[in-house]
Structure 1
Amino acid sequence: MKIMVKFMLILGFIAAILAGCGTNQNAKDESANGAEPVQNEEKATDGQDQAEEEDATEEETSEKGDSVIRILEQNMSYTVNGETKEDTAFLKHSDNQNYSMYVLPGYELTAEEPNKDVLFFTENDQVFMRIELLPEDADWSMIEENTKAQLDAVSEDVQSAEAPADDFFKDATVMKAEQNGEKVSAYLVKKDDLSLKLTLFTKEDADHEEAFLQMAKTILKEEPIK
């Protein structure tokens, strides 16, 4: 009986030792195969998220720093002689002044002289719009006086008119004169980023003024190429 008791005690002692060893081994295995990789994975995920955030910030900064990119064509609705039309206008860059604009089919943009371009109707080049980009420090009162004097040469009856209901022409000065079926209109546009003089030459039987104005609304000043 005593031998049996001793034997049982010895077995219990051995079992306790083996259980302790197993626990330590499992802890080591978990440490080697489970806990540390999970922690490393979390760190890697955090690092990846941070990198993605940095990439997004760099992309946003890059987008804000880039110049405006214009598409090559734009659909446009306009009227000629009271008839409404729709067509695709194509982007043109002035070779004479630092701007781009969309030009409808049937019209052509060309340089007239330094700092002056003309956009004319190809079927009748007497129907055209002169485009002048003005310096930012231009004397606006002097420009208005000179413009009125130019229209006086067409007719002594120079009329002031309302600007089109469009943000591009907001606060623009408009003058008109007519004589023997010839119509001349001047639009002086002064914006924060653009000072512009438009002089339109049309006729009673070839009224392209609204078409010219629709194209003029797309004028965008560009930085000179260095």
Structure 2
Amino acid sequence: MNKMVKFMLLLGLIAAIMAGCGTAQNDSGNGTDPDQNEEETATEGQEEKEQTEEEEAEKDSNDEEGDSVIRILEQNMKYTANGEGKEETAFLKHSTNQSYSMYVLPSYELTAEEPNKDVLLLTENDQVFMRIELLPEDADWNMIEENTKAQLGAVNEDVKTAEAPADDFYKEATVMMAEGNGEKVSAYLVKNEDLSIKLTLFNKEDADHEDAFLQMAKTIMKEDPVK
């Protein structure tokens, strides 16, 4: 009897040992080492984070490129001066007084006149020029029109309205003009989606550069203020 009990206990012990070995072998074969799992999870998380950061950086870069406009340094321009058709290369100029750039023909010069006002003048005759004023988005246009009419009234009380040039830049423009004593003064109040501007052109009977000024003016583009 005692031999039988001892034999049964020995069989139970052997079975327990074999079961333990099988479990250890299965765990090793399935790669369920806790330390290894933690390391792999951390690596995968880092890779996903780096990939996300790269995608966000690329998106921000694309957005910035989409919002900014790079202007070439020169462009050909057709215009009329004193009734004579011409074509020349205009060069990109940046206003030092207001936040915009424009293309300027060789015979003209862009310069600051006073705060928030520039003049684009004919180099050989500075009495022929265009005054450029960028206006705030919330400007009172009724008041601006009244003030402009009063300014032109100093040239001639008979201030006339005129049709805007057939160009998208001037499609919403209000145009007024007055003539007297050999002078021709005209004003263009332009209000586009991203630009509000007042242009006042001063020409002479023997020096009419109206079209040249208008061709250059329509290249005006607002820029971010210099910080």
Q: Which runs of 5+ in 2 are unaligned?
A: 1-54
- Taking the aligned partners of 1:178 and 1:219, their CA distance within structure 2 comes to 26
Letter in 2 for 1:64: G
Cα separation, 1, equivalents of 2:119 and 2:159: 23
Match in the other structure for 1:201:
202
**Residue identity opposite 2:96 in structure 1:** D
SS in structure 2 of the partner of residue 163 of structure 1: coil
The residue that corresponds to 2:161 in the other structure is 160
1:63 aligns with 65
State the number of aligned residues: 175
Q: Structure 1 unaligned runs (5+)?
A: 1-53
Partner of 1:130: 131
Match of 2:143 in 1: 142
Q: Distance in 2 between matches of 1:57 and 1:115?
A: 36
Give, as a single letter, the amino acid of the residue that structure 2 aligns with 1:223.
D
Is 1:114 the counterpart of 2:115 in the alignment? Answer: yes
| CA deviation profile, 1:113-134 (whole Å, cap 9, x unmatched) | 0000000000000000000001
1:1-226 equivalence runs, <5 A: 60-65=62-67, 67-226=68-227
Q: SS at 2:166's partner residue? A: coil
One-letter identity of the residue aligned with 1:63: E
TM-superposed deviation, 1:57: 6.5
Deviation of the 1:63 alpha carbon:
2.7
Code of the residue aligned with 1:76 in structure 2: it is: M
Q: How far did 1:78 drift? A: 0.2
The CA RMSD measured in Å over matched residues stands at 1.9
